[in-house]
Amino acid sequence: MPARSALALTLLLAAGLAGYAQDQPRNVVVNSSLEDPVAGTGLPEGWWPFADPPDSYRIAVVAGGRTGDKALLVEGDGQVGGFTTTRVPVEPGKRYLARGWVKIEGDPEAKATVQVGFSDADGGYLGSTWLGNVSPAPGRWQFISVPAHADDVAGAASACAAVSVIGKAKVWFDDLELVVADGPVPGDNLITNGNVEDVVEGAPVYWIPFTEPGAVATLTAGEDAPEEGAHCLCLKGDAQYIVGLGETYAIDPAKTYTLRGFVRAKAGDALLQIEYCMDEQHLGNTESAHVTRDEWEERSVTTDFASFPDATHFRVCVAAATGAVEAYFDDLRLVEE
């Protein structure tokens, strides 16, 4: 993880926060669209700012929301700055989903993110889930959605949606949510970097290329007309098989999962794929319908555990059919159904 990103995580929740929300509606964040009056801090009640160095970022409610009339602007130049939203108690078995819309402009190296932040009973920061950063894309609202479980961070007593800005930038935030549910939150994406906005030196985090011995395949964070956001997966190569390997999940035969996403192909055939494994041994795949046009098309494939009874794990993949290929993938989602 980049040093600045790590610093952003360690500083989240550094401000001493007080009080819990007593209710847990679907979205527990108070004044999530910034349309209601704010507190003396200039932020909605229960939200708190932080910055390193101190006063390196200005935070204010301003005109120009994604929805409604207002948004929250974080502007400055420092190591990290941002704010935390309404806190709620962490309860065993609960799932938490932080999400919101971000518009960022500034230095090309600047970043912004939305996280689920966890703290202890005294308000001390313990850790955060981290989907990744979005990069400057002037005039464009970008969506971030980050899932977490109550047991993700040991000893956590409270959770909140938290945002941070890294570097020199102007960043607008709107429609922030912290959703609490007993099971998977509707729309909860189990893929960590499905929107491909977490990028390190041009490589998409949590995705790696795989092909036959002696062949060459690349998997990069492309910027060629993404379906949403600033990046999309770009898979290129010429081989018998070319695959972008994503994350692996333990199999529960009682559950069903669907992998969805947008696909286009400048050359060759492109598809979504679910791989079945017994520990490290490959057992087989199920796949979506192929895409052969250079236009975004949505595809999906659903798990078929019955056909692979010995499988212990499954993996989400993007793939290309035999031959030369230049394929793009974006907004990838794995949802429990």
Q: Are 108 and 168 in contact (CB under 8 A)?
A: no
187: left (phi over 0), alpha (psi -120 to 50) or beta: left
Contacts for 283-290 with beta carbons within 8 Å, 24 or more apart? 283/308, 283/310, 283/311, 284/308, 285/317, 287/319, 288/259, 288/263, 290/321
* pLDDT digit string (tens) for the chain, length 337 residues: 343 433 433 344 344 333 333 333 478 999 999 999 999 888 999 999 999 999 999 999 999 999 999 999 999 999 999 999 999 999 988 888 888 899 999 999 999 989 999 999 998 889 888 766 788 888 888 888 777 888 888 999 999 999 999 999 999 999 999 988 876 665 678 898 898 877 766 788 889 999 999 998 999 998 888 998 778 999 999 998 899 999 999 999 999 999 999 999 999 999 999 999 998 899 999 999 999 999 999 999 999 999 999 999 999 999 998 789 999 999 999 998 7
- pLDDT at residue 19 in the model: 36
Question: Domains of the chain by range and CATH?
Answer: 3-181 (2.60.120.260), 199-336 (2.60.120.260)
User: Peptide bond before 53: cis, by omega within 30 degrees of 0?
Assistant: yes
Identify the burial level of 157 via C-beta atoms within 10 angstroms of its C-beta, where 0-12 means exposed, 13-18 middle and 19 or more buried.
middle
Cβ 102 vs Cβ 172: under 8 Å: yes
The DSSP element (H or E) to which 3 belongs, if any, is helix 3-11
Residue with token string 């600033």:
230
The b-or-e profile of 165-183 (16+ CB within 10 A means b, else e) is bbbebbbbbbbbbbbbeee
Residue 216 backbone dihedrals phi, psi, to 5 degrees: -120, 130
- Please state, in angstroms and rounded to a whole number, the distance separating the CA atoms of residues 192 and 197: 10
Q: Is there a contact between 60 and 71 (Cβ–Cβ < 8 Å)?
A: no
| Rounded CA separation 319/273 (Å) | 7
Distance CA 285, CA 275 (A): 4
Identify whether the C-beta of residue 49 lies closer than 8 Å to the C-beta of residue 39.
no
**Considering the entire predicted model, what is its pTM?**
0.63
